Structures are given as structure tokens and as C-alpha cells.
């Protein structure tokens, strides 16, 4: 097996955790006879420092030529309030390569059980797959910065086709698991959530063997900590998914414990831990790299495309 992989260490603890991933990949290559061509490129704050852009053209070209992208972390508080910020590099990477499906599994490992504050009986049987829409919603909708210092806005915009394609991912995942989807929205307030709920129900018509439940995001935020083992596949939008998976990570120990995969219609995927750059502990050698090392496998068929996730 030969694979061209682009490594994007990024900021903060990103280089530290990705360094461990590189060691593991190199060792796997030795043992299994795989040929991993590993190439590093810039993203985030370090890219801004070197090139003035959070996602330089050189990085884009490297990703276009790769079979997969491995990311460490992006984020640097020194850019807070600046027009150009490290996080823009990651958002642009998702947009440019159409990585609309973010898969985040939540499981408690016996080796990290002592890190979680929850009682064992609450965590028994927890196995959740979050399916987060990644290239729409409030992160990508029309916005206005506070140019006059008095007004700014971000728009939560969703189109039917965006909801349909992420719902298809969730339903296909549910068919290979327990056959249950919890779709999380805020349909009692938001028009975009009412569209979301309607389209999810329409897609559900093609999957009569999958049970669908709609839960408001504020209620789900409570239920996922009180009875996490009752959830199987959780489908949600971009911002809600970002917040809820960070919350749910405490079930597995902490924010640094979970892996994620960002996938699209093509075969290229972006693989990363869900944690941020953690600048407060960067360089201290104490960042846990388990989120970059965990291995999980979900085979999900999107129209005309079979995706195999192994992270």
C-alpha cells in the first residue's frame, strides 16, 4: 500500500500531537510494509507568520496532490480581533475541498476512564457517532464584521441540498449501527432549523428501518450528559455540532480524547483531533495525542461515492 499524506501541524500543541502520529505511521509502515509518503505544510498562525495567509497556495497544492490530510490544531490568541486569523485556514480548507461531513465518535476507553467525572453506570454502553454538517450554517453564511464598532452579524443559512447530503450520511451510518438517529435543531425558534427538520423527515422516508427522533439543542445538551448511552447517531448542524461534541467529549475523559474525520464526495479526507491549539500547555510535552491516534472505521456510502474512514 502506498499513500501520500500531508501533515499540517499548525499551532500550539498541534506539532506535538502530530509528531506522535507521524511516529506511529512510520512504525506501521515498517511492520505492515506500507509506503507512507509524508509531507508537511503550513496552516493557521504559523502560516500567517511565514506567508501572511492562514492557508497558503503551497499548502492547497500539497493537499490537492495528497490521498489524505492529517491536521494538528489551529489557533493563536495573539490574532484575536485581527482581520486575518488562524481559524480561517481550516474553514477555507473545508470549503475548498467540499468536506461537508464531520464524523466524531464518542466512546470511553478503559485506559482513560479515570479522567471522566461521570459515574460508571452513566457511561456504560456509551457509543455515539456525531454527524456534523461542516460547510454550511452560521460559520459560512453571510456576515458583517463590526466595521463601525456598533453592529455585526452572522447568518445561519441552510439550503435543502446541504441538509439532504448530510442527512444521507447519517442515515447510512445508522443502518450499519443501531438504526437510530437523533436530529438536533432549534426548530421552535429558528427558520433554518425548521427547514432542517423538514428535510431530515423527507430523507427518512427512504429509510423505514431507521428510527428518527428530533430534539431541541438545549434539551439535548442536558440529555447527552444524563443518559448518553441512549443515543446512537446524532445528526446536527455546524455550530450546534461544534458545541455539542466538545461537551460530549467529557464523557470520554476530556476534549483531547476524541478523533474526527471531515469527508466529502471525493476520496480526500481531513483527519484531526477535535481539540484546539491549547497554547497554555504548548511546548510543555504534556498534551495527550490520543485524539490523533485513535482508530475507528465507518463505511458510509454517499451518492456515487463510497467513503472509508480509518482514523
Task: List the catalytic residues.
Answer: 139, 186, 218, 242, 246
Share of the chain above pLDDT 70, in %: 94
In a domain, 156, yes or no: yes
In a domain, 212, yes or no: yes
Kindly state whether residues 25 and 129 are assigned to the same domain. no
Kindly state whether residues 232 and 112 are assigned to the same domain. yes
* Of 102-116, 125-139, 177-191, the least confident: 102-116
Q: Which domain holds residue 237?
A: 105-254
Section 131-160 average pLDDT: 92
In a domain, 259, yes or no: no
At residue 2, the pLDDT reads 81
At residue 303, the pLDDT reads 39
Could you write out the DSSP letters of every residue in the chain?
Answer: -EEEEEEEEESTTHHHHHHHHHHHHHHHHHHHT-EEEEEE---THHHHHHHSSSS-HHHHHHHHT-SEEEEEE---GGGTT-SS-THHHHHHHHHHTT--EEEEEEE--GGGGGG--S-HHHHTT-EEEEEEE-SSGGGTS-EE--TTSS--EE-----HHHHHHHHHHHHHHHHTTTSEEEEEE-TTT-HHHHHHHHHHHHHHTT-TTSEEEEEEHHHHHHHHHHSGGG--EEEE-HHHHHHHHHHHGGGGTSGGG-EEEEE-SSS-EEEEES----TTTTTTT---THHHH---EEEEEETTEEEEEE-
At residue 99, the pLDDT reads 96
* pLDDT tens digits for range 225-271: 999 999 999 999 999 999 999 999 999 887 778 899 999 998 899 99
In a domain, 7, yes or no: yes
Question: Domain with 172 in it: what CATH number?
Answer: 3.40.718.10
Kindly state whether residues 142 and 59 are assigned to the same domain. no
Q: How many structural domains compose the chain?
A: 2
Kindly state whether residues 218 and 141 are assigned to the same domain. yes
Amino acid at each position: 500500500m502506498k499513500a501520500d499524506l500531508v501533515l499540517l501541524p499548525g499551532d500550539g500543541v498541534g506539532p506535538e500531537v502530530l509528531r506522535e502520529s507521524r511516529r506511529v505511521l512510520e512504525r506501521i509502515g515498517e511492520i505492515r510494509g506500507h509506503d507512507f509518503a509524508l509531507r508537511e505544510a503550513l496552516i493557521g498562525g504559523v502560516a500567517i507568520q511565514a506567508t501572511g495567509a492562514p492557508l497558503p497556495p503551497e499548502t492547497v497544492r500539497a493537499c490537492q496532490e495528497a490521498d489524505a490530510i492529517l491536521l494538528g490544531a489551529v489557533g493563536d490568541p495573539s490574532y484575536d480581533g485581527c482581520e486575518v486569523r488562524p481559524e480561517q485556514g481550516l474553514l477555507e480548507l473545508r470549503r475548498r475541498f467540499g468536506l461537508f461531513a464531520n464524523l466524531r465518535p464518542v466512546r470511553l476507553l478503559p485506559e482513560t476512564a479515570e479522567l471522566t467525572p461521570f459515574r460508571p453506570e452513566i457511561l456504560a454502553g456509551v457509543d455515539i457517532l456525531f454527524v456534523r454538517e461542516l460547510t454550511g450554517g452560521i460559520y459560512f453564511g453571510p456576515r458583517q464584521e463590526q466595521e463601525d464598532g456598533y453592529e455585526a452579524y452572522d447568518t445561519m443559512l441552510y439550503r435543502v441540498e446541504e441538509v439532504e447530503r448530510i442527512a444521507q450520511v447519517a442515515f447510512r451510518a445508522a443502518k450499519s449501527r443501531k438504526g437510530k438517529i437523533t436530529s438536533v435543531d432549534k426548530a421552535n425558534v429558528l427558520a433554518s432549523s425548521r427547514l432542517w427538520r423538514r428535510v431530515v423527515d423527507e430523507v427518512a422516508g427512504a429509510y423505514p428501518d431507521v428510527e428518527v427522533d428530533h430534539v431541541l439543542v438545549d434539551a439535548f445538551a442536558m440529555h447527552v450528559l444524563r443518559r448518553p448511552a441512549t443515543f446512537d447517531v446524532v445528526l446536527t448542524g455546524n455550530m450546534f455540532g461544534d458545541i455539542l461534541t466538545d461537551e460530549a467529549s467529557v464523557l470520554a475523559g476530556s476534549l483531547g480524547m476524541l478523533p474526527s474525520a471531515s469527508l466529502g464526495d471525493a476520496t480526500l479526507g481531513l483527519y484531526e483531533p477535535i481539540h484546539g491549539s491549547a497554547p497554555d500547555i504548548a511546548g510543555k510535552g504534556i498534551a495527550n495525542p490520543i485524539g490523533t491516534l485513535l482508530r475507528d472505521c465507518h463505511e458510509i456510502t454517499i451518492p456515487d461515492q463510497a467513503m472509508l474512514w480509518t482514523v
